Amino acid sequence: MFKGSLVALITPMREDGSVDEKAYAEMVDWQIKEGTQGLIPVGTTGESPTLSHAEHHRVTEIAIEVAKGRVPIMAGCGSNSTEEAISLTRHAKESGANAALIVTPYYNKPTQEGLYLHFKAIADAVDLPIFIYNIPGRSIVDMSVETMARLAKHKNIVGVKDCTPLNRPIQQRLAIGEDFCQLSGEDGTVLSFMAAGGHGCISVTANVAPRLCREMHDAWADGRIKQAIAIQDRLTPLHDALFSETSPGPVKYAASLLGKGTERCRLPLAPVMEPTKERVRAAMTAVGLLN
């Protein structure tokens, strides 16, 4: 169900810090029309840590309502509280999401057994496909290949969003099998990840360059490797610029240049610095997104 070019959606906000539902709905529709193959609302890029539960629910619901089944929806449902993650996953299922994305619990630093029990409890509680989000750089803990293989035996745990070294998708494919859906969470290494057995990418850059990201995945899938590499090379300075400060600050600024909401993030994320703005604008111009 999930493959190719997927987007970790930003959550547009008004200048007063409230969620801009109109801009968000327009972003969802634009993404689909530009060729994005799946939407991931309220992940880290969607500023889930600073959304209230009511806002979290509403952002998920808007994505599902606007998509109208045109592309699948993987709702961010992660928490460092197992009960809260279960509650968010239940809401995602009730709202009509196709899957849930659940990050490894941050700050708590659970053991491998704790990670196993956390994900098993969620998968037991809600009959919805679950993708593990393994991102040690943000959550501090790293799910081992062995723990992931153990969890993959559960019928509801179907894949991973992976932000680990590039030997990991090979190890996971060998340990679990090719049917376990492996999605990259790193824009800069997408083609390397695909070559290692990946199925697609949950992209930050696709927020502002959805058509190019889709074209790159299509070229790869069609065996037009040189063309895929050429698009990757074209996008690389933009990838780098969008992570020159903590995401989603730079990508929200980039989206604002396209008229896709304001650059506003919620504290503790500060407005991006002027040198970052200059770098983002230059990269977008070089890619051809700005005149």
Residue type, 165: P
DSSP 220: H
Q: State how far the Cα of 182 lies from the Cα of 160, in Å rounded to an integer.
A: 5
Alpha-helical (H) ranges within the chain are: 21-33, 53-67, 82-95, 112-125, 136-139, 145-151, 168-176, 190-195, 210-221, 225-242, 249-257, 274-287
Which residue is catalytic, options 93, 133, 253, 260?
Answer: 133
Q: Which two tokens stand for residue 79?
A: 């928490």
In the annotation, is 133 catalytic? yes
In the annotation, is 161 catalytic? yes
Other CB atoms within 10 Å distance of the CB of residue 174: 12
Q: Which two tokens stand for residue 228?
A: 């895929």
Residue whose C-alpha is closest to residue 139's, from 111, 115, 105 = 105
Q: What is the Cα gyration radius of the chain?
A: 18
Which residue is catalytic, options 24, 93, 116, 161?
Answer: 161
Q: How many residues does the chain have?
A: 291
The catalytic residues are 133, 161
